[in-house]
Copies of this chain bind each other. A is one copy, B any other.
Amino acid sequence: MITPQKTRLVSRSISDQLYDVLREQILNGEVGEGEPIRQDGIAAAFEISKIPVREALVRLQQDGLVSLHPKRGFFVTPLTRKEAEDVFHLRLLIEPEATARGAQSATEEDAKKAQACLEELESAVARQDPRRGVYNRLFHLALVEPAAGPTTIHVLTLLNVTADRYVRFHMHMQDIDTRANQEHRELMACWLAGNKREIEKLMRKHIQTTLDDLRGALK
């Protein structure tokens, strides 16, 4: 018998897949900041045409990861201290409260999913998976999802992606992995308990600590 899938299987377009790949590469710093992005080169490297390449780049532009100079091409947006402060400021404004609301209206289902995300994250950290930034985002979002509207999800994704870029670039992962692990466990426990005030405080502290570390790395 055919077993039904939990994950809807949809055909992902080339541009859609490329979007993820390019975003990961930029977040990993594999493309130097300010460096021009040659459409032909990417198309050749992936053995595809320029059309899906352009579409992926346009999406990354809307995310603020690359900028477009007309008739001159796409460039990786430079990392600036100003933007880092900006992003974390917004996260501190939005995410603690959103997480608290998520904790309040989380169902059993939501709790399962959040815990699964945490386990996947810890497993990724344990095996030094370079994609653990992705799992970190997924965990943070899972805590928010139960109560958040689509716009909140979208904005927080945007902010977490950009924050992730700064963290990965300026900090050695091992240094924060253990601390983050500890904090994530605390967050999770508190979130499951549904303690609104406490979870809000913890999340604020979690983000603030990362920002402090980042400031230190930026000297």
> Is there a chain B Cβ closer than 8 Å to A62's Cβ?
yes
Given the contacts A62-B59, A85-B149, A150-B64, A155 and B90 also touching, CB distance less than 8 Å: yes
A-side interface mostly: helix
Nearest-Cβ distance from residue A130 to partner chain B, whole angstroms: 25
Q: How many residues belonging to A are interface residues under a CB distance threshold of 8 Å?
A: 37
User: Quick check: B10 and A90 within 8 Å, CB to CB?
Assistant: no
Interface residues of A (CB under 8 A from B): 10-13, 15-16, 51, 54-55, 58-59, 61-64, 70-71, 82-83, 85-87, 89-90, 93-94, 97, 148-152, 154-155, 158-159, 162
Taking A62-B63, A90-B155 as known contacts, 17 extra A-B pairs with beta carbons closer than 8 A to each other, sorted by chain A number, are A11-B70, A11-B71, A16-B70, A51-B51, A55-B58, A59-B59, A59-B62, A62-B62, A83-B151, A86-B149, A87-B149, A89-B152, A90-B152, A93-B93, A151-B158, A151-B159, A155-B155
Option from B12, B59, B97 in Cβ contact (under 8 Å) with A58:
B59
Chain B residues, Cβ within 8 Å of A158: 151, 154-155
User: Quick check: A151 and B90 within 8 Å, CB to CB?
Assistant: yes
CA A11 to CA B71, docked complex, whole Å: 8
CA A83 to CA B149, docked complex, whole Å: 6
Chain B residues, Cβ within 8 Å of A155: 90, 155, 158-159
Chain B residues, Cβ within 8 Å of A86: 148-152
